[in-house]
Structure 1
Amino acid sequence: MSDQVVDPTAPVSSASSIVDDDELLLRRLGYKQTLVRSYKLLESWAASFAAVYTLGGLRATFSIGIYGGGPQAYWITYLISSVFVLVTAAVLAEICSSLPAAGSIYFWAAEAAGPRFGRLFAFVVAWWTTTAWTTFVASNSQGATYYMLSQINVWGGSFTTDPSDIKFRALAWICSQLFLAIAMATCFLGARVYKYIFRLSVFMILLDFLLNIIWVPIGVSKTYGFRSAEFAFLETINWTGAPPAWNWMLSFFATGGIMIGFDASGHIAEETKNASLVAARGIWWSAVSCVAIGFPYVILFLFCMPDLDTFSSLTAPQPFVMLYSLALGKAGSVVMIVLIIFTTVLNTSVSIVAASRLVYAIARDGVLPFSGWISKVAPNGQPKNALWVIWGVSAIVLCTILPSPTAFSSLISASGVPTVASWGLIAFGRFFLTPHQLMKSRWSLGFLSRPFHLIAFLWNTFLSGVMFSPLFFPVDGAGLNYAPVIMGAVTLFALACWWFIPEEKWLEKRKIRAVIASNQENFDDIVGHQSEKNGVRERIVVRGAEEEA
């Protein structure tokens, strides 16, 4: 096990005898502070808000929402998804408040499952979420490329934009690797500097929103005109070939399936001040913000989309580029696409930060090969070697663009569903396996906690099923959704790790019991020391606190 893990009951040296309440809580979870705590509520909220980037997700899946169920299903499923996403966010925020640690999600799974199944759940969730974040980073880089190369269609260029052509795939691979490298370069900035990346990401997302809300309707009014209210709210469509009921359900793929990533606040919890409260608030308010900003966008484009014949003929690698061209003109589409690409690169950067903290957390427990190297932290507070690992894996995933378009799309099909499945598994553990295990959280759901756990489990299980489904029927090799295959392979790998890696190597039952006991018995001791005197937080003497406990 890495030397970064400490025994929370061990004597404290005089050099480290004074720590604040964040570090004390982390110590009682079994770790010492190595990352730099500099983020506050704004950065915590911005991390999740930027990681989700609701507008980008809606653009990427808009055609799926229209083809599956039509406009009526699209806006209704968005509202339904919003309710259940907020319930899930509330559940995760409460758990995060009790266990605010880097790479939190696998820790949450271990606590939710209890000593008997905690280690198993932790292995599964750790590998599910690592797969999700790294493939998402790769798919985001490709997404930025597709926005750029779709301008070839707008301007009538002669270069092919057919993904089945190796020339296009080669160019797409080069550009995707370039965008990945740009996003990665920002991640090596120190924590005190990187907070401005969080803020810039939020600014760009809000600018994206405002330009769409203001400029696009003006452009549509001067070009092809708006769709009717009857079309926007009542039109049903079945272009998926699925049975009518399931065709309607597939709209959840384009609504609930894109609101993923608001657990990023938890992944940077060890870099957040007052983390047991601030990280939880970051998760909750980012989910609220993402839901709120998305609904006007959904309604906007149901009115501003062209007629169905025109819409179905938008065959660029990213059809939304052609839609902007129709509404705003060629020059206007360039302005929007430059903004979107820049924002997407920032979104990729934030996602890399979240993913690297997860890899860092797993490595410091000694599970990965070369864990000692991966878990090292640079003087500026960044786990730079974990960042290199994310870069390497994402770059390898991007290489699958070259053999065939199916190879890459198969891998990135698992970029969202593992996270959704992880949330469902955590809620399952809390409701069925540890229902009577008291969870002391400063951000608490109170009497709503237990019903919310059940709702979150049912919702995320349902959403996983939708995201596993093929999107077009009848199903052939080209249209097969490979997410279940990828998930199955990752799950088998996680089970093999759980079986073959000795318990003393990672997450012993004794440690899980210690985490649970620390949460239940010592939390009040920690937060009881929090006070403000002349604007300066009172420091806590660890040895005295332990003697009092």
Structure 2
Amino acid sequence: MTVTAAVLAEICSALPLSGSIYIWAAEAAGPKYARLIGYIVAWWACTAWMTFCASVCQTSANYLLSLLTIYDIPFPGADGLSTSNVKFRAAQWALSEGILALCIALNYLPQKSYSWVFKGSMALMAVDFVLNLTWLPVRVHMTYGFRSAKEVFTSQYNGTGAPAGWNWMLCFLVAAASITGFDASGHISEETKSASTKSARGILTSAFFSGLFAFLTIILFLFCIPPLDVWSEFTAQQPFVQVYHLALGRGGAVFMACLAVVGLMLNTSIAIVASSRLVFAVARDGVLPLSGWVGKVTEDGRPKNAVTVMTIFGALLLCTILPSTVAFTSLVSAAGTPTIAAYALIAFCRLIFTPNEFKNSKFGLGMWAKPFYVVTFVWNCIVFATYISPFYFPVDASGFNYSVVIFGAVTIFGALSWLLTKPEAWLYQGRVQRMKEQAAAEMVDDDKDEQGKV
């Protein structure tokens, strides 16, 4: 994913614009296919980011509801803390909606105050990581003991029912999901000073450090999880709450779960910042319903109404929890699929259509450009395949991964928008050219500022 980030950083540095990823895709495709690719990726990106925010709210709710297991509090209904229990789904929905409201509320803070959300998020992630790196393994050693190196690195457990090879491939799903979305800093480029450098650097460093710390965390957790026969008896929707309970005791489990929930809420608020800027950028050119209202900004340049759109969309999406878990789970799966597809498509277009463009990028790949495009395309195609794959075999209606259907529908909507929208209405080349010229002028000003500091 760091190679993918390098490819995106290259084009971000040359085009530091809000909405970023669909503009990058359009420009990477060249003049002939720019509008078609831009429309499709815009639909992909909006679907992915708006869905992601709602899904993380449900994850936070699962952490809190899972605390009932460590207090031995039975949940009403025959199936208890199971998603087959309609009463549990109702509680899960209500709590998720409340968490979404809190995350949205943070986005209405003044910009100076909101900077503390970023700082708080970073601090909580650091504390969480350090505690998992120190406190958890110490307590695991004192309680149920570590898994052996042989178990961690050579043993396999097929809980999916898939063929052995594909069961192994499905491991990439979690690994890739922990890093996907590192392009977020590009979505706020127009609000970032020296964006041609800072936004691009943000993409590259976030992917690298997310991958590094995710790798360390996964290895740590593999050593620290209890035996599989114990794990299989867990009933919580978030099993790590019960892992913490076994290792750290009740108080430690409550503390770590609350730490995770607060961290997730702050991170969701930050994700809403990125996704609302994306919605604003798409509406800015008049293609969305009520785009004139959605595209308005406050005096300090923030798209406040786009945040309101995020509120409405997220709240409605969470309502799909109530009738069926399959519907919401499929929508959650669809959160990552379009983003991965966009990464692959941008690399493909750079390789085929515009391999020699964007020479003004401060993060140019030079002689490594084409190899990086190939690696990015192939890798993200592999990850895409795991995202749309069924997670349990044999496949039936209750376990089918509908993300491929959602992805196909969104792609068709993007293509239809391209067919039915007049060229001058959205992604008009003259307007895009003015945006590029404005970005280039800002890059020159940034260079002058940097030279002045020297």
Q: Deviations over 1:14-40 (max 9, x none)?
A: xxxxxxxxxxxxxxxxxxxxxxxxxxx
Please name the residue that 1:188 is paired with. 108
**Whole-Å Cα distance in 1 between the matches of residues 235 and 359 of structure 2?**
51
Tell me the distance in 2 between the aligned counterparts of 1:188 and 1:524: 30
**Alignment pair present for 1:154 and 2:70:** yes
Given that residues 178 and 214 in structure 2 are in contact (C-alpha distance below 8 angstroms), is that contact kept between their aligned partners in structure 1?
no
Instruction: Find the aligned partners of 1:295 and 1:438 in 2 and give their Cα distance.
Output: 33
Contact 1:115 1:513 (8 Å CA) reproduced: no
**Which residue, out of 367, 374, 385, partners 2:294?**
374
- Structure 2 vs 1, CA of residues 254 and 167 (structure 1 numbering), >3 Å: closer, same or farther? same
Match of 1:93, as an amino acid? A
Say which SS state the counterpart of residue 503 (structure 1) adopts. Answer: coil
Q: Distance in 1 between matches of 2:120 and 2:358?
A: 39
Distance, in Å, in 1 between the alignment partners of 2:388 and 2:72 is: 37
- How far apart, CA to CA, are the structure 2 residues paired with 1:509 and 1:377? 24
Q: Which runs of 5+ in 1 are unaligned?
A: 1-84, 538-549
- Aligned residue in 2 for 1:103: 19
Return the offset for 1:93: 0.6
Structure 1 counterpart of 2:60:
144
1:237 aligns with 2:157: yes
Matches within 5 A, 1:447-526: 447-512=367-432
* Matched AA of 1:246: W
Tell me if structure 2 keeps the 8 A contact 1:435–1:450.
Answer: yes
1:127-177 Cα distance to aligned partner (Å, 9 max, x none): 101111111111101100000001111211121312111211111111001
2:3 corresponding residue in structure 1: 87
Shift of the alpha carbon at 1:260?
A: 0.8
What residue is the counterpart of 1:256 in the other structure? 176
Give the letter aligned to residue 95 of structure 1: I
Whole-Å separation in 2 of the counterparts to 1:525 and 1:313: 61
Match of residue 314, structure 1, among 227, 230, 234: 234
**Counterpart in 2 of 1:415?**
335
Give me the whole-angstrom Cα distance separating, in 1, the residues matched to 2:387 and 2:14: 30
Q: Deviations over 1:234-291 (max 9, x none)?
A: 1122222211211111111111232111101101111111110111111111111111
Q: Is the 8 A contact 2:341 2:384 kept in 1?
A: yes
Amino acid of the residue matched to residue 60 of structure 2? A
Q: In the superposition, relative to structure 1, how do residues 133 and 482 fare at CA in structure 2: closer, same or farther (>3 Å)?
A: same
Shift of 1:193: 2.3
Aligned-partner Cα distance in 2 for 1:229–1:449: 38
Q: Give the Å deviation of 1:329.
A: 1.1
Closer/same/farther in 2, CA of residues 430 and 330 from structure 1, 3 Å limit: same
Q: Aligned residue for 1:349?
A: 269
Distance across 2 between alignment mates of 1:518 and 1:373: 24
Hey, what's the Cα distance between the residues in 2 that align with 1:508 and 1:184? 32
Q: Which residue of 1 aligns with 2:87?
A: 167
Q: Is the 8 A contact 1:470 1:479 kept in 2?
A: yes
Say yes or no: does 1:127 pair with 2:43. Answer: yes
Task: Report the aligned-residue RMSD.
Answer: 1.8
Counterpart of 2:196 (choices 260, 276, 280) is 276
Corresponding residue for residue 313 of structure 2 = 393
1:451, distance to aligned residue in structure 2 (A): 1.6
Q: Distance in 1 between matches of 2:62 and 2:101?
A: 16
Contact 2:194 2:443 in 1 (8 A): no
* C-alpha spacing 1:350/1:524, structure 2 compared with 1 (3 Å): closer
Structure 1 CA distance, aligned partners of 2:437 and 2:229?
62
- In percent, how many aligned pairs have the same letter? 47
C-alpha contact (below 8 Å) 1:99/1:108 kept by paired residues: yes
Secondary structure, in 3 states, of the residue corresponding to 1:442? coil
Structure 2 residue runs without a partner (length 5+): none
Structure 1: how far apart are the matches of 2:173 and 2:349?
A: 25
Aligned residues: 450
Give the drift of 1:527.
6.0
Query: Residue 116 of structure 1 is aligned with which of 32, 40, 51?
Result: 32
Q: How does the TM-score come out when normalised to structure 2?
A: 0.95
CA contact 1:190–1:382 (8 Å) conserved in 2: no
TM-score by length of 1: 0.79
CA distance in 1, matches of 2:372, 2:445: 27
Cα distance between partner residues in 1 of 2:42 and 2:441: 26
| 2:361 paired with 1:441 | yes
